[in-house]
Amino acid sequence: MPTPTIPLINGIPALGLGTYPLSSATCIDTIRMAIGLGYRHIDTAQMYGNEREVGEAIAACGVARDQLFITTKVDPSNLGQARFAESVKRSVDALGGSPDLLLIHWPPPDAEIDAALDLLAAELQAGRTRRIGVSNFTPRMLRQAVNRLGKVIACNQVEFHPLLDQTALKATADELGLPLVAYSPIARGKTFAIPAVQAAAARHGCSANEVVLRWIIQQGVVAIPKTDKRAHAESNLRALSLELSADEMSATASSATRSGRTINGSWMAGRWDD
Ligand SMILES: NC(=O)c1ccc[n+]([C@@H]2O[C@H](COP(=O)([O-])OP(=O)(O)OC[C@H]3O[C@@H](n4cnc5c(N)ncnc54)[C@H](OP(=O)(O)O)[C@@H]3O)[C@@H](O)[C@H]2O)c1
């Protein structure tokens, strides 16, 4: 398979590799395999406990660091003044250098969001990351982030796939001029059963994951599916060369509901429409 060129969405490679819950040698081998196939965007987090393995894999992969795009996320337990910067220094050490994108992983339950955003911005100023962004922010929180820090917010990483209606959040992100990054983009396989996805896959002679990932990317949303299987990683990449019709896009979207989450997320449960 020739190495594909992965388009950028707001400077972020449109298809990346999720790394939760990869660990130890499987994590290193999977990342090296994916980079060998052409992946350049790797998503990790302090919470996943695998930043050191990500660092080892990218050091050994044979692709120059400036050709890679590494995202990590500050754990909710590290969002306070006393722990934020130290935790990011540990991430930088584990990764073998600064990430390309540093996110607040989950907004804090006690809503000290402005303080956490200021600490995030300080990491950018200190040069410990190339970009900053947020994750699991609701429309109201996303407006708050942009009001506080401006256009420097590079993305909002959220659950996004055709079983979950994210219309309101997408409209807010579009209005603010920043992209969403889709986690759980295939809803851990549940999206494969959507009749419109199966119909499009049959029409294009491809597999359901390709339709689902293409549906995401074709909307200008970045997708970061996790797989440790070479065949799945190759198949997910093929989404880049598919093109869905307007009818296929809307038919795929028609299965989405507000309750279609795969991950409901502790204290955020019930607050997503905020
Ligand atoms: N910011 C956040 O709060 C947050 C939350 C959740 C996840 N994430 C990030 O998003 C990434 C992806 O999300 P996720 O792991 O929850 O869900 P996902 O990517 O939707 O689904 C992963 C599952 O799908 C399978 N899979 C992947 N490609 C496949 C293919 N082509 N055919 C069949 N099965 C396939 C994988 O199995 P195999 O490995 O066997 O292929 C795995 O079991 C995570 O790894 C993490 O980096 C972020």
At residue 3, the pLDDT reads: 74
Per-residue pLDDT tens for 211-235? 999 999 999 999 999 999 999 999 9
Cβ(137) – ligand 1 distance below 6 Å: no
Best of 74, 183, 197 to mutate for ligand 1, by most ligand atoms within 8 A of CB? 183
Cβ(155) – ligand 1 distance below 6 Å: no
d(CA 185, CA 172): 19
Give 223 Cα–ligand 1 centroid separation in angstroms: 10
Per-residue pLDDT tens for 89-105? 999 999 999 999 999 99
Q: Is the dihedral of CA 231, 238, 13, 146 positive or negative?
A: negative
pLDDT band at 268 (very low <50, low <70, confident <90, very high): confident
DSSP 40: -
Per-residue pLDDT tens for 46-78? 999 999 999 999 999 999 999 999 999 999 999
Cβ(16) – ligand 1 distance below 6 Å: no
At residue 250, the pLDDT reads: 98
> Rounded to 5 degrees, what are φ and ψ at 220?
80, 20
At residue 221, the pLDDT reads: 98
Contact 55, 94 (CB under 8 A): yes
Torsion of CA 216, 162, 188, 11, to 10 degrees: 20
Q: What percentage of residues in the chain have a pLDDT greater than 70?
A: 98
At residue 166, the pLDDT reads: 97
Closest to 134 in 3D by CA, of 150, 111, 158: 158
Give 217 Cα–ligand 1 centroid separation in angstroms: 16
pTM: 0.98
Domains of the chain as residue ranges with CATH: 11-188+221-227 (3.20.20.100)
Per-residue pLDDT tens for 129-176? 999 999 999 999 999 999 999 999 999 999 999 999 999 999 999 999
CB burial of residue 229 (10 Å; 0-12, 13-18, 19+): exposed
